[in-house]
Amino acid sequence: MSLFLFHGRPEDESGRLSKEIRVYDLLDRLEIKYDRVDHEPAMNMEVCRAIDEALRATICKNLFLCNRQKTQFYLLMIPDDKVFKTKELSAQIGSARLSFADAESMEKYLDITPGSVSVMGLMNDTGHHVRLLVDEDVLRGEFVGCHPCINTSSIRLRTKDVFEVFVPYTGHDFTVVRLKE
């Protein structure tokens, strides 16, 4: 599978969802440079590996989680080589046992669907219902790769721009966590 790296937004935006275009609009407004790869839906590791190779960035697993009562929601960014263990993370953030949140909450708070979870969804969480959790290893890379709220494109941004410009713009802060490999 051969993928091509483009700089910035698509020249032809026809057929693209408005939530994807809103991501590019915001990144451009914040003067954050990004590269983009368009691809088939990223639903298996073969596609993900091809995307990783094209982007040359830390592609994160983005997990949308909630507590048992479904009153607290979390977006966890971890390197794709780490495993999420609920007990390990729960202890670090002082929350009851965590589980994967449902698709309805994901759409309600982040305007994204399963398979498209991304830090970019925080731009849609104007009520600040979602707490961002970031594994320390994500912050060590020069670049972060993520979806622009859809899973048929992936973007590469400087890690510094994500956490020093984009995340603060959304009004969110983040908690650094340490998950074992």
- The ranges assigned to domains in the chain are 5-175
Q: Look up the CATH architecture of domain 5-175.
A: Alpha-Beta Complex (3.90)
The pTM assigned to this predicted structure is 0.93
From first to last of its 181 residues, the chain has per-residue pLDDT tens of 678 999 999 999 999 999 999 999 999 999 999 999 998 887 766 777 788 888 888 678 899 999 989 999 999 999 888 888 888 899 899 887 899 999 999 999 999 998 899 999 999 999 999 999 999 999 999 999 999 999 999 999 999 999 999 999 999 999 999 998 7
Cα 172 off chain centre by:
14
Handedness of CA 17, 147, 173, 24 (dihedral sign): negative
Largest separation between any pair of C-alpha atoms in the chain: 47
Asked whether the beta carbons of 101 and 63 are under 8 A apart, the reply is no
For 14-56, how does the pLDDT look when each residue is reduced to its tens digit (9 = 90+)?
Answer: 999 999 999 999 999 999 999 999 988 877 667 777 888 888 8
Say which amino acid occupies 46. E
Asked whether the beta carbons of 55 and 145 are under 8 A apart, the reply is yes
